[in-house]
Amino acid sequence: MRAVTVIPGVADSLALDENYPEPAAEEGAVLVEAVAVGICGTDHEIIAGHYGEAPPGERRLVIGHESLGRVLEDPTGALQPGDLVAGVVRHPDPVPCTNCAVGEWDMCRNGRYTEHGIKALPGFARERWRVRPTFAVPLDPALSDVGVLLEPTSVVAKAWDHIERIGHRAEWQPQSVLVTGAGPIGLLAALLASQRGLSVHVLDLATDGPKPELVHALGATYHSVPVNDLDFEPDVVVECTGAPTVVLDVMCKAAPTGIVCLAGVSSGGRTIDFDAGALNRALVLENNVVFGSVNANRRHWELAAEALARADRHWLSTLISRRLPVSRYQEAYQPGPDDIKVVLDFAV
Ligand SMILES: [Zn+2]
Protein backbone atom coordinates (compact mmCIF):
# COMPACT_ATOMS: atom_id res chain seq x y z
CA MET A 1 0.00 0.00 0.00
CA ARG A 2 1.01 3.64 -0.37
CA ALA A 3 2.54 5.60 2.54
CA VAL A 4 4.25 8.99 2.78
CA THR A 5 7.50 8.58 4.73
CA VAL A 6 10.58 10.51 5.83
CA ILE A 7 13.98 9.60 7.25
CA PRO A 8 13.95 11.53 10.56
CA GLY A 9 16.90 13.89 10.86
CA VAL A 10 17.50 13.89 7.09
CA ALA A 11 16.22 17.04 5.37
CA ASP A 12 13.99 16.63 2.29
CA SER A 13 13.82 12.84 2.54
CA LEU A 14 10.04 12.92 2.04
CA ALA A 15 8.95 10.11 -0.33
CA LEU A 16 5.88 8.16 -1.42
CA ASP A 17 6.44 4.47 -0.77
CA GLU A 18 4.20 2.36 -3.06
CA ASN A 19 4.97 -0.90 -1.26
CA TYR A 20 4.71 -0.03 2.39
CA PRO A 21 3.70 -3.10 4.47
CA GLU A 22 0.14 -3.49 5.76
CA PRO A 23 -0.24 -2.38 9.41
CA ALA A 24 0.87 -5.04 11.86
CA ALA A 25 -1.73 -6.74 14.05
CA GLU A 26 0.16 -5.56 17.17
CA GLU A 27 -0.73 -1.96 16.27
CA GLY A 28 -4.32 -2.62 17.37
CA ALA A 29 -7.54 -4.47 16.66
CA VAL A 30 -9.22 -1.62 14.77
CA LEU A 31 -8.29 -1.62 11.07
CA VAL A 32 -8.96 1.75 9.45
CA GLU A 33 -8.97 2.91 5.83
CA ALA A 34 -7.45 6.38 5.56
CA VAL A 35 -9.77 9.17 4.35
CA ALA A 36 -7.55 12.22 4.89
CA VAL A 37 -4.46 13.49 6.68
CA GLY A 38 -3.97 17.11 7.73
CA ILE A 39 -0.62 18.85 7.48
CA CYS A 40 0.80 21.26 10.06
CA GLY A 41 3.99 23.03 11.12
CA THR A 42 5.26 19.96 12.96
CA ASP A 43 5.23 18.03 9.66
CA HIS A 44 7.26 20.81 8.01
CA GLU A 45 9.80 20.63 10.87
CA ILE A 46 10.05 16.84 10.49
CA ILE A 47 10.54 17.18 6.72
CA ALA A 48 13.26 19.78 7.34
CA GLY A 49 15.04 17.18 9.50
CA HIS A 50 14.68 19.14 12.75
CA TYR A 51 12.34 16.75 14.48
CA GLY A 52 10.89 13.23 14.42
CA GLU A 53 11.94 9.72 15.41
CA ALA A 54 11.41 6.47 13.47
CA PRO A 55 9.92 3.41 15.24
CA PRO A 56 12.57 1.24 16.94
CA GLY A 57 14.64 -0.69 14.38
CA GLU A 58 13.27 1.28 11.41
CA ARG A 59 14.92 3.92 9.29
CA ARG A 60 11.81 5.62 7.88
CA LEU A 61 8.86 7.17 9.69
CA VAL A 62 5.38 7.32 8.14
CA ILE A 63 4.45 10.98 8.54
CA GLY A 64 1.01 12.37 9.48
CA HIS A 65 -0.56 12.85 12.92
CA GLU A 66 -3.85 14.55 11.91
CA SER A 67 -6.02 11.68 10.77
CA LEU A 68 -9.47 10.80 9.51
CA GLY A 69 -10.47 7.31 8.45
CA ARG A 70 -13.26 4.76 8.13
CA VAL A 71 -13.30 1.58 10.18
CA LEU A 72 -12.85 -1.55 8.05
CA GLU A 73 -13.00 -4.02 10.95
CA ASP A 74 -13.07 -4.05 14.72
CA PRO A 75 -13.35 -7.56 16.15
CA THR A 76 -13.75 -6.08 19.66
CA GLY A 77 -17.15 -4.66 18.64
CA ALA A 78 -16.35 -1.19 20.04
CA LEU A 79 -16.67 0.29 16.54
CA GLN A 80 -18.64 -0.75 13.47
CA PRO A 81 -17.36 -1.04 9.88
CA GLY A 82 -17.95 2.31 8.16
CA ASP A 83 -17.63 4.38 11.37
CA LEU A 84 -15.74 7.62 10.89
CA VAL A 85 -12.79 7.81 13.30
CA ALA A 86 -9.61 9.71 14.04
CA GLY A 87 -6.56 8.17 15.71
CA VAL A 88 -5.28 9.70 18.95
CA VAL A 89 -1.73 10.98 18.35
CA ARG A 90 0.03 10.41 21.67
CA HIS A 91 0.33 7.12 23.53
CA PRO A 92 1.30 6.89 27.22
CA ASP A 93 4.88 6.21 28.22
CA PRO A 94 5.73 2.60 29.25
CA VAL A 95 6.75 3.40 32.85
CA PRO A 96 4.07 4.89 33.16
CA CYS A 97 4.42 8.26 34.90
CA THR A 98 1.71 9.39 37.33
CA ASN A 99 -0.20 11.21 34.58
CA CYS A 100 0.07 8.56 31.86
CA ALA A 101 -1.05 5.98 34.45
CA VAL A 102 -4.48 7.66 34.60
CA GLY A 103 -4.90 8.38 30.87
CA GLU A 104 -3.55 11.96 31.02
CA TRP A 105 -0.76 11.26 28.52
CA ASP A 106 -0.99 14.87 27.33
CA MET A 107 0.57 15.75 30.71
CA CYS A 108 3.36 13.11 30.53
CA ARG A 109 6.15 13.94 32.98
CA ASN A 110 9.02 11.77 31.77
CA GLY A 111 8.91 12.52 28.02
CA ARG A 112 8.90 8.82 27.12
CA TYR A 113 5.49 9.00 25.42
CA THR A 114 5.24 8.03 21.74
CA GLU A 115 3.35 9.86 18.97
CA HIS A 116 1.97 8.66 15.63
CA GLY A 117 3.85 10.26 12.77
CA ILE A 118 6.18 12.17 15.12
CA LYS A 119 7.89 10.03 17.72
CA ALA A 120 8.51 6.28 17.37
CA LEU A 121 5.04 5.32 16.06
CA PRO A 122 4.13 5.15 12.35
CA GLY A 123 1.89 8.02 11.25
CA PHE A 124 -1.46 8.09 9.49
CA ALA A 125 -0.33 9.07 5.94
CA ARG A 126 -0.75 5.48 4.75
CA GLU A 127 -3.73 3.83 3.08
CA ARG A 128 -4.58 1.64 6.08
CA TRP A 129 -3.66 1.90 9.75
CA ARG A 130 -4.50 0.09 12.97
CA VAL A 131 -5.16 1.36 16.49
CA ARG A 132 -6.50 -0.02 19.74
CA PRO A 133 -10.14 1.00 20.39
CA THR A 134 -9.01 3.40 23.18
CA PHE A 135 -7.06 5.37 20.59
CA ALA A 136 -9.85 5.56 17.98
CA VAL A 137 -12.24 8.48 18.47
CA PRO A 138 -15.60 8.25 16.66
CA LEU A 139 -16.92 11.27 14.77
CA ASP A 140 -20.40 12.33 13.66
CA PRO A 141 -20.92 10.70 10.20
CA ALA A 142 -21.79 14.16 8.83
CA LEU A 143 -18.17 15.27 9.39
CA SER A 144 -16.66 13.17 6.59
CA ASP A 145 -15.38 16.30 4.76
CA VAL A 146 -14.01 18.17 7.78
CA GLY A 147 -13.36 15.54 10.46
CA VAL A 148 -9.64 15.72 9.68
CA LEU A 149 -9.74 18.91 11.80
CA LEU A 150 -10.32 16.79 14.93
CA GLU A 151 -6.64 16.65 15.97
CA PRO A 152 -6.04 20.43 15.99
CA THR A 153 -9.47 20.84 17.63
CA SER A 154 -8.42 18.39 20.38
CA VAL A 155 -5.45 20.64 21.15
CA VAL A 156 -7.69 23.68 21.67
CA ALA A 157 -10.31 21.61 23.53
CA LYS A 158 -7.55 20.74 26.04
CA ALA A 159 -6.49 24.40 26.23
CA TRP A 160 -10.07 25.47 27.00
CA ASP A 161 -10.54 22.63 29.50
CA HIS A 162 -7.50 23.84 31.43
CA ILE A 163 -8.45 27.52 31.13
CA GLU A 164 -11.80 26.68 32.73
CA ARG A 165 -10.23 24.58 35.50
CA ILE A 166 -7.88 27.45 36.33
CA GLY A 167 -10.71 30.00 36.09
CA HIS A 168 -12.74 28.17 38.70
CA ARG A 169 -10.04 28.64 41.35
CA ALA A 170 -12.31 31.61 42.36
CA GLU A 171 -15.53 33.25 41.18
CA TRP A 172 -15.11 33.51 37.41
CA GLN A 173 -17.31 35.16 34.81
CA PRO A 174 -15.11 35.86 31.79
CA GLN A 175 -16.48 38.19 29.09
CA SER A 176 -13.74 38.66 26.52
CA VAL A 177 -11.19 36.43 24.84
CA LEU A 178 -8.21 37.42 22.76
CA VAL A 179 -6.77 34.82 20.39
CA THR A 180 -3.41 35.76 18.87
CA GLY A 181 -2.62 34.10 15.55
CA ALA A 182 -5.31 33.16 13.01
CA GLY A 183 -3.83 29.87 11.79
CA PRO A 184 -5.84 26.65 12.22
CA ILE A 185 -5.17 26.45 15.97
CA GLY A 186 -6.09 30.11 16.54
CA LEU A 187 -9.24 29.90 14.44
CA LEU A 188 -10.36 26.69 16.17
CA ALA A 189 -9.61 28.26 19.58
CA ALA A 190 -11.83 31.17 18.48
CA LEU A 191 -14.55 28.73 17.39
CA LEU A 192 -14.55 27.09 20.84
CA ALA A 193 -14.60 30.56 22.46
CA SER A 194 -17.63 31.56 20.37
CA GLN A 195 -19.37 28.31 21.34
CA ARG A 196 -18.93 29.46 24.97
CA GLY A 197 -20.82 32.69 24.23
CA LEU A 198 -17.78 34.91 24.91
CA SER A 199 -16.88 38.14 23.16
CA VAL A 200 -14.14 36.90 20.82
CA HIS A 201 -11.26 38.93 19.38
CA VAL A 202 -8.66 37.50 17.00
CA LEU A 203 -5.40 39.26 16.26
CA ASP A 204 -3.19 38.40 13.27
CA LEU A 205 -0.78 40.20 10.95
CA ALA A 206 -2.80 39.35 7.80
CA THR A 207 -4.94 42.16 6.42
CA ASP A 208 -6.36 40.23 3.47
CA GLY A 209 -6.84 36.59 2.47
CA PRO A 210 -9.46 34.35 4.12
CA LYS A 211 -8.60 34.99 7.81
CA PRO A 212 -10.59 38.22 8.49
CA GLU A 213 -13.68 36.73 6.83
CA LEU A 214 -13.42 33.49 8.84
CA VAL A 215 -13.21 35.50 12.07
CA HIS A 216 -16.19 37.71 11.14
CA ALA A 217 -18.21 34.58 10.29
CA LEU A 218 -17.85 33.49 13.94
CA GLY A 219 -19.34 36.81 15.06
CA ALA A 220 -15.89 37.74 16.33
CA THR A 221 -13.78 40.88 15.85
CA TYR A 222 -10.62 40.80 13.74
CA HIS A 223 -7.62 43.00 14.63
CA SER A 224 -4.39 43.45 12.71
CA VAL A 225 -2.78 45.95 15.10
CA PRO A 226 -0.11 45.44 17.78
CA VAL A 227 -1.44 43.91 21.03
CA ASN A 228 -0.69 47.15 22.90
CA ASP A 229 -3.04 49.09 20.60
CA LEU A 230 -6.11 47.02 21.57
CA ASP A 231 -8.62 49.11 23.54
CA PHE A 232 -9.65 46.36 25.97
CA GLU A 233 -8.06 44.00 28.48
CA PRO A 234 -8.99 40.38 27.73
CA ASP A 235 -10.14 38.06 30.54
CA VAL A 236 -8.65 35.12 28.65
CA VAL A 237 -5.86 35.01 26.07
CA VAL A 238 -5.09 32.02 23.89
CA GLU A 239 -1.66 32.76 22.41
CA CYS A 240 -1.07 30.76 19.24
CA THR A 241 1.76 32.63 17.47
CA GLY A 242 4.74 31.71 19.66
CA ALA A 243 6.19 35.09 18.56
CA PRO A 244 8.27 36.30 21.55
CA THR A 245 7.05 39.92 21.53
CA VAL A 246 3.40 38.87 21.19
CA VAL A 247 3.83 36.39 24.06
CA LEU A 248 5.19 39.11 26.35
CA ASP A 249 2.64 41.71 25.19
CA VAL A 250 -0.37 39.48 25.93
CA MET A 251 0.95 38.68 29.43
CA CYS A 252 0.99 42.43 30.13
CA LYS A 253 -2.36 43.07 28.39
CA ALA A 254 -4.54 40.53 30.25
CA ALA A 255 -7.21 41.89 32.62
CA PRO A 256 -6.91 41.49 36.41
CA THR A 257 -7.44 37.76 37.29
CA GLY A 258 -6.81 37.10 33.60
CA ILE A 259 -5.65 33.75 32.26
CA VAL A 260 -3.08 33.52 29.48
CA CYS A 261 -2.79 30.13 27.76
CA LEU A 262 0.37 29.76 25.72
CA ALA A 263 -0.32 27.32 22.88
CA GLY A 264 2.25 28.43 20.28
CA VAL A 265 5.75 26.98 20.19
CA SER A 266 8.60 29.48 19.79
CA SER A 267 11.84 28.55 18.08
CA GLY A 268 14.04 30.18 20.75
CA GLY A 269 17.47 31.67 20.26
CA ARG A 270 16.40 35.34 20.16
CA THR A 271 16.71 37.64 23.13
CA ILE A 272 14.52 40.63 23.94
CA ASP A 273 15.17 43.48 26.35
CA PHE A 274 12.29 43.13 28.78
CA ASP A 275 11.35 44.37 32.27
CA ALA A 276 10.74 41.04 34.03
CA GLY A 277 10.21 42.77 37.39
CA ALA A 278 7.33 44.85 36.02
CA LEU A 279 5.72 41.70 34.57
CA ASN A 280 6.08 39.86 37.87
CA ARG A 281 4.56 42.80 39.72
CA ALA A 282 1.56 42.87 37.32
CA LEU A 283 1.00 39.10 37.54
CA VAL A 284 1.17 39.03 41.35
CA LEU A 285 -0.91 42.12 42.03
CA GLU A 286 -3.61 41.07 39.55
CA ASN A 287 -3.74 37.33 40.40
CA ASN A 288 -3.01 36.53 36.76
CA VAL A 289 -2.11 33.08 35.47
CA VAL A 290 0.14 32.22 32.54
CA PHE A 291 0.34 28.56 31.56
CA GLY A 292 1.45 26.36 28.69
CA SER A 293 -0.74 23.79 26.95
CA VAL A 294 0.09 21.08 24.44
CA ASN A 295 -1.46 17.87 23.09
CA ALA A 296 -4.70 16.27 24.33
CA ASN A 297 -6.00 13.15 26.02
CA ARG A 298 -9.00 11.01 25.09
CA ARG A 299 -11.45 13.20 27.02
CA HIS A 300 -10.31 16.25 25.03
CA TRP A 301 -10.63 14.36 21.75
CA GLU A 302 -14.24 13.58 22.68
CA LEU A 303 -14.91 17.22 23.63
CA ALA A 304 -13.40 18.22 20.27
CA ALA A 305 -15.66 15.78 18.39
CA GLU A 306 -18.69 17.37 20.10
CA ALA A 307 -17.44 20.88 19.26
CA LEU A 308 -16.98 19.99 15.57
CA ALA A 309 -20.42 18.36 15.42
CA ARG A 310 -21.96 21.63 16.76
CA ALA A 311 -19.98 23.90 14.42
CA ASP A 312 -21.04 25.25 11.04
CA ARG A 313 -19.83 22.73 8.42
CA HIS A 314 -19.29 25.38 5.78
CA TRP A 315 -17.10 27.40 8.15
CA LEU A 316 -15.06 24.32 8.97
CA SER A 317 -14.64 23.44 5.29
CA THR A 318 -13.35 26.96 4.60
CA LEU A 319 -10.46 26.25 7.01
CA ILE A 320 -9.27 23.61 4.56
CA SER A 321 -7.60 25.82 1.99
CA ARG A 322 -6.09 23.07 -0.19
CA ARG A 323 -6.97 19.39 -0.63
CA LEU A 324 -4.62 17.27 -2.72
CA PRO A 325 -4.57 13.59 -3.67
CA VAL A 326 -1.77 11.45 -2.25
CA SER A 327 -0.09 11.32 -5.68
CA ARG A 328 0.52 15.10 -5.33
CA TYR A 329 2.01 14.78 -1.83
CA GLN A 330 5.04 16.93 -2.72
CA GLU A 331 2.81 19.93 -3.52
CA ALA A 332 0.73 19.27 -0.41
CA TYR A 333 3.78 19.42 1.87
CA GLN A 334 5.04 22.60 0.18
CA PRO A 335 3.72 25.56 2.23
CA GLY A 336 1.65 28.07 0.20
CA PRO A 337 1.05 31.79 0.91
CA ASP A 338 -2.71 31.53 1.55
CA ASP A 339 -2.70 28.18 3.33
CA ILE A 340 -4.74 27.69 6.45
CA LYS A 341 -5.03 23.90 6.57
CA VAL A 342 -3.73 21.68 3.77
CA VAL A 343 -5.11 18.15 3.56
CA LEU A 344 -3.84 15.04 1.83
CA ASP A 345 -6.86 13.20 0.45
CA PHE A 346 -6.69 9.38 0.48
CA ALA A 347 -10.20 8.91 -0.89
CA VAL A 348 -9.23 9.84 -4.46
ZN1 LIG B 1 4.12 9.74 31.05
Residue 337, pLDDT > 90, answer no
Expressed in angstroms and rounded, the spacing between residue 114 Cα and the centre of ligand 1 is 10
Task: For residue range 319-331, list pLDDT tens digits in order.
Answer: 999 999 999 999 9
> Could you report how far apart the first and last alpha carbons of the chain are, in Å?
14
Distance 98 CA to ligand 1 centre (A): 7
95 alpha carbon – ligand 1 mean position (Å): 7
pTM: 0.97
Q: What is the rounded CA–CA span in Å between residue 35 and residue 71?
A: 10
| 120 CA to centre of ligand 1 in angstroms | 15
Q: For 86-111, how does the pLDDT look when each residue is reduced to its tens digit (9 = 90+)?
A: 999 999 999 999 999 999 999 999 99
The pLDDT of residue 347? 86
CA of 123 to the centre of ligand 1 (A): 20
- Give the pLDDT mean for 69-76: 98
Nearest to 123 by CA among 11, 12, 32: 32
302 CA to centre of ligand 1 in angstroms: 21
Q: What are phi and psi of 223, to 5 degrees?
A: -125, 135
Ligand 1 centroid to Cα of residue 107, in Å, is 7
* Ligand 1 ion: Cβ-proximal residues, 5 Å cutoff: 93, 97, 100, 108
3-state secondary structure of 214: helix
